[in-house]
Chains A and B, each alone.
Chain A
Amino acid sequence: SAVISQKPSRDICQRGTSLTIQCQVDSQVTMMFWYRQQPGQSLTLIATANQGSEATYESGFVIDKFPISRPNLTFSTLTVSNMSPEDSSIYLCSGSQGGDTDTQYFGPGTRLTVL
């Protein structure tokens, strides 16, 4: 298994600003992902963070709004840009070590409130 930490754990931001969320894994993982979880909703995949190349975004999510970096196999960042109140949510990072099972391990999440 992998232990995943995220910073910050929560933040309150003003409309129009940007926030960068950091995700650190205690061991190398093949794949890293970013999800959004709104209250009472399921997890929605934002993008797959690819090491050394551009992230792969899901439908409805774009790089200009959610730029992602993954400089190595244990670290990734997600930036929420030009925030609006609709971006208020929990943002979760996960990692997978690949193989036949490909189970994902999640970080504790970052609770974002945009005023």
Chain B
Amino acid sequence: QKEVEQDPGPLSVPEGAIVSLNCTYSNSAFQYFMWYRQYSRKGPELLMYTYSSGNKEDGRFTAQVDKSSKYISLFIRDSQPSDSATYLCAMSAGAYSSASKIIFGSGTRLSIRP
């Protein structure tokens, strides 16, 4: 079983829809949770970063962590064609300075239809 599972998609939704992207994980030691966005032929860029459980909002993006269920989500409101990209979840047990490796999901390919 992989440490981090992510549905690869592709996921296609109409412009303006609410998008829900999810990951599950098996390592209960994970405390830091991240979402990266990767456009085609580009490197991943950090979108959201959360520590422990709870919600974090940044504009149209909301990151949610449920440690009891080992489940994290990224919600995109009022989705735009420019949101079309691959979204990767990532997590680690601690700050990397403590030699904790970041584990990435395989990414969900999202397409927003105009």
Contact = CB atoms under 8 A, between A and B. Distances in A.
Interface of A: 4, 30-31, 40-43, 45, 58, 92, 94, 96, 98-109, 111
Interface string B46-68: 10010000000000000000000
B54 to A, nearest CB: 16
Contact of A106 (B8, B45, B49, B105): B45
Contacts of B41: 108-109, 111
Contact of A42 (B42, B49, B96, B107): B107
Interface string B25-48: 000000010101000011111100
Nearest to A41: B106
A58 B9 CA distance: 28
11 contacts: A30-B97, A31-B97, A42-B6, A98-B95, A98-B96, A99-B97, A101-B49, A102-B32, A102-B92, A104-B102, A106-B43
A90 to B, nearest CB: 9
A107 B49 contact: no
A102 B98 CA distance: 10
Interface residues of B, number: 24
B72 to A, nearest CB: 15
Interface of B: 4, 6, 8, 32, 34, 36, 41-46, 49, 88, 92, 95-97, 101-102, 104-107
Nearest to B98: A102
Given A4-B43, A42-B88, A31 B105 contact: no
Nearest to A35: B104
A58 B104 CA distance: 15
Closest 5 CB pairs of A and B: A106-B43, A102-B96, A102-B95, A42-B106, A42-B104
A98 B97 contact: yes
